[in-house]
Structure 1
Amino acid sequence: MNVALFIARRYFFSKKKRNIINIISIIAMIGVGVGTMALIVVLSVFNGLEDLIRSLYGKFDPEIKITTVEGKSFETNAQQLERIRKTPGVALLTEVIEDNALLRYNDRQMVVKVKGVSDNFFQQNQIDSAIVDGDYRLKRDGKQFALIGRGVQYQLSIRPENPFSPLQFLYPKAGKKTIINPENAFRQLGIQAGGIFAIERQYDDQYVFVPLTFAEELLSYGNKRTSLEVKTINVEDIDRVKNELQKVLGKEFNVQNSEEQHVSLLRAVKVEKLFVFVTFTFVLLIASINIFFSLSMLVLDKQKDIAILASLGADPATIRRIFLMEGAIVAFSGAVVGLVVGGTICWLQQTYGWVSMGMSTSVVEAYPVLMRPTDFLFTAVAIILITLIVSIRPARRAAALSIRDNL
């Protein structure tokens, strides 16, 4: 048996230790346990928020998006589109025209983002699962329909599939300078609302989906497109397909995967998570200072024992290990309890959703939580380092005690 570990365990479980040392050790264990539990819970909440963001944007955004480096639109032709379709790994290509337009409904109006999409658009994503009213299809029985966000519906009081009150879109005509009759400066086109979607407020409050041909006519884009959206055959090959498309299209185009389309937001979440980890690590360090005090007092209490061990042949390294083990036992006892309790809290939140977001308009009712093994691993590593930092000084003092002065 490891002598240092055996003696450290005897010191830890000994009932003859002075009460003040016991109390400080217990306080240290509780502090480490609470800090560990809080760190696991907070990191899991950040994981849940990140996963929620990915899932929400995944309903709206394509796996790969192609845009122009300069300007907001670019010319397309049959040869270019065919090269993209024939790129290995590409399963689907959707053409997109997106621009701002004025939307009128009865006596109300607002500026919205009109997104014209080709017929295969709804094979790209999961918007059809976000429909709260009506039908998601943009073409039915030879007629064209618009799919509008719930925020737009609330703002204009739109009734889906109301043939008596179609949506009226207005877009400025190119080259029109006259202001005698302002309405003559706009191209106006009507379409019936066919369905309502609810994904996330950023989209719900401004987006309207229409057929690509309707957007071409309203916006006069012709062969121009604002973006091309690509779905891959295998999700695991997204990065490879992205690189292949970049080679095919050249430097004039940006080819982005789903994360790169929202890189700033996801980076902000990760940076916040990192700062939270660093902050709670300092909290653990402060809580572990009690380990330093308990070990320092234990060294004073066990001076005679240390001298006896040294006289029996224990070298300074063995004595140092005894007190390092003692600090590790105190810290790890609290850490294990904290990890178990933190993991249990996260599991209960995942399973039952006890803690609500507290907002009726929230996309999820309860706080999202996602546990990752790496968080448990990094927390354990942080506790090991902190334990070494606070234990090494008392351990060195114990190893430096004089045998003659303490026997």
Structure 2
Amino acid sequence: MNVPLLIARRYFFSKKKRNIISIISNISMVGVAVGTMALIIVLSVFNGLEDLVRGLYGKSDPDLMISAVQGKSFPVDSAFIDRITAVPGVALVTQVIEDNALLQYHDRQMVVKMKGMSENYFAQSNIDSAIVEGDHRLVRDGQDYALLGAGVQHELSIALDNRLSPLRLLYPRNTGKKLLSMNPETAFNEQAILAGGVFLIEQRIDDSYIFVPLEFARDLLLYGNRRTSLEVRVGDQHYVDDVKEELRQLLGPKFQVLNSDEQHVSLLKAIKVEKMFVFITFAFILLIASLNIFFSLSMLVIDKKKDVAILRAMGATTQLIRNIFLLEGAIVAMVGAITGLVLGVGICWLQQTFHLVSMGMATAVVDSYPVQMQAMDIVLTGLAIIVITVSVSIRPALNAARLDVRDNL
């Protein structure tokens, strides 16, 4: 029989506790419950945001992207593509040319990110599901078409398939001179293309990107056989990280191979850092809420001086007395923590199932706050509560263990 736990439980459920001690204990439990619930909810929201970012970029991101470590582009030929395709797990390789260009429509213009893609791009990307207007095909009946981000279309008020006023894309010519000619006819390469469709993926992409056929981008930018990146789709029966390592060994140090998370490492790292600081902040809030446990235990030690003296006289050790009050603090914290966990998980489940709390913005990509619960968050929250509980309970427990028998009998 665990004597310290038995006595701690009797103290916790005792109806003879002083009213003020009972009030402070209840306040401690409520504080721990609220702090735990808030921590679970906030961490789950950050997990949901992280998954939302991955999902949004997943519509246009490849499984793996190959680019040069130095320089903006690198030469590509059929032999190079064949070497990559021969790697086990590589299901598809898409050639990409991406650079800034000046987009003109009527009397309006803006600088956009132009992305030229080979014909097999839509075989590895889900971007066709993000088309909100028009057709996703870049070539129809021998005619080149451009896909526009919704923000780009809105900024320039572009009408689709307007053959009387096509889009004009301009790119500076590389003349080898430091100063660019002031004559637009000699300073820029220029090509026209029709607007064929509009996509809605994520605001940063929607406000700056247009997609065009690879040959169109190659001719405008005069890239020849050079490409800015190669996008790789990994087969369903293979692991992305295994294929990434194989490609890194094949291509050597001159190339970098990035998976989806590494392509947006800054954004995802920012979310993780914010999540870490939120966890630390709420841990401090839990610590402050748990200070009431310190006060309630201190008062309980004073109230139970005679009980402690009797136990010592009966042969109870210092360790047993100390454990009684440590367990008393643990019970108070555990009741609050379990209550908070149940409430936090329940609220997250309700949000996941019924989408109770909306984003409150008409332009939001999702209607409600994304929530994703993770077991590790619950484990870390539990560990934080254990550390905090021991920290605030150890001093009253030591004071109880040092009580003099003769002075309290």
Shorter-chain TM-score: what band? over 0.9
Cα pair 2:89 2:238 within 8 Å, conserved = no
- What are the Cα deviations for residues 325-360 of structure 1, in whole angstroms up to 9, with x where unaligned? 110110011111111111111112212222222221
Whether 2:356 is the aligned partner of 1:354: answer yes
- What are the Cα deviations for residues 60-79 of structure 1, in whole angstroms up to 9, with x where unaligned? 21111111111111111111
Taking the aligned partners of 2:78 and 2:135, their CA distance within structure 1 comes to: 31
Name the residue aligned to 1:268.
270
Tell me by how many angstroms 1:235 deviates: 7.4
Distance change (3 Å), C-alpha of 1:393 and 1:338: same
Taking the aligned partners of 2:176 and 2:275, their CA distance within structure 1 comes to: 51
Taking the aligned partners of 2:144 and 2:315, their CA distance within structure 1 comes to: 92
Taking the aligned partners of 2:372 and 2:143, their CA distance within structure 1 comes to: 44
Name the residue aligned to 1:130.
130
Tell me by how many angstroms 1:196 deviates: 0.3
Name the residue aligned to 2:203.
201
Distance change (3 Å), C-alpha of 1:379 and 1:331: same
Q: Give the 3-state SS of the residue equivalent to 2:239 in structure 1.
A: helix
- What are the Cα deviations for residues 65-118 of structure 1, in whole angstroms up to 9, with x where unaligned? 111111111111111111001011111100000111111112211111110001
Cα pair 1:65 1:257 within 8 Å, conserved = yes
Name the residue aligned to 1:305.
307
Taking the aligned partners of 1:230 and 1:385, their CA distance within structure 2 comes to: 46
Write the mapping of 1:18-33 to structure 2, written as runs, cut at 5 A: 18-33=18-33
Taking the aligned partners of 1:253 and 1:55, their CA distance within structure 2 comes to: 26
Taking the aligned partners of 2:248 and 2:6, their CA distance within structure 1 comes to: 62
Taking the aligned partners of 1:245 and 1:252, their CA distance within structure 2 comes to: 12
- What are the Cα deviations for residues 5-54 of structure 1, in whole angstroms up to 9, with x where unaligned? 11111111111111010011011111111111111111111111111111
Give the letter for the 2:107 counterpart: D
Taking the aligned partners of 1:179 and 1:219, their CA distance within structure 2 comes to: 17
Name the residue aligned to 2:391.
389
- My pick for the range that moved more, 331-340 or 153-162, is 153-162
Long gaps (5+) in structure 1: none
Taking the aligned partners of 2:404 and 2:181, their CA distance within structure 1 comes to: 99
Q: Give the 3-state SS of the residue equivalent to 1:88 in structure 2.
A: coil
Whether 2:76 is the aligned partner of 1:81: answer no
Tell me by how many angstroms 1:185 deviates: 2.4
Taking the aligned partners of 1:271 and 1:162, their CA distance within structure 2 comes to: 46
- What are the Cα deviations for residues 105-160 of structure 1, in whole angstroms up to 9, with x where unaligned? 12211111110001111122221111110111112222221111000100111112
Taking the aligned partners of 2:4 and 2:194, their CA distance within structure 1 comes to: 80
Name the residue aligned to 1:294.
296
Taking the aligned partners of 1:69 and 1:179, their CA distance within structure 2 comes to: 31
Name the residue aligned to 2:286.
284
Q: Give the 3-state SS of the residue equivalent to 1:60 in structure 2.
A: coil
Cα pair 1:134 1:195 within 8 Å, conserved = yes
RMSD value over aligned CA atoms? 1.5
Name the residue aligned to 1:10.
10
Cα pair 1:176 1:185 within 8 Å, conserved = no
Q: Give the 3-state SS of the residue equivalent to 1:294 in structure 2.
A: helix
Name the residue aligned to 1:340.
342
Cα pair 1:28 1:291 within 8 Å, conserved = yes
Give the letter for the 1:286 counterpart: I
Distance change (3 Å), C-alpha of 1:155 and 1:176: farther
Tell me by how many angstroms 1:179 deviates: 4.0
Cα pair 2:89 2:237 within 8 Å, conserved = no
Q: Give the 3-state SS of the residue equivalent to 1:298 in structure 2.
A: helix
Name the residue aligned to 1:116.
116
- Give 1:189's match in structure 2, choosing from 188, 191, 211: 191
- My pick for the range that moved more, 159-168 or 297-306, is 159-168
Aligned length: 407
Cα pair 1:95 1:228 within 8 Å, conserved = yes
Taking the aligned partners of 1:174 and 1:2, their CA distance within structure 2 comes to: 83
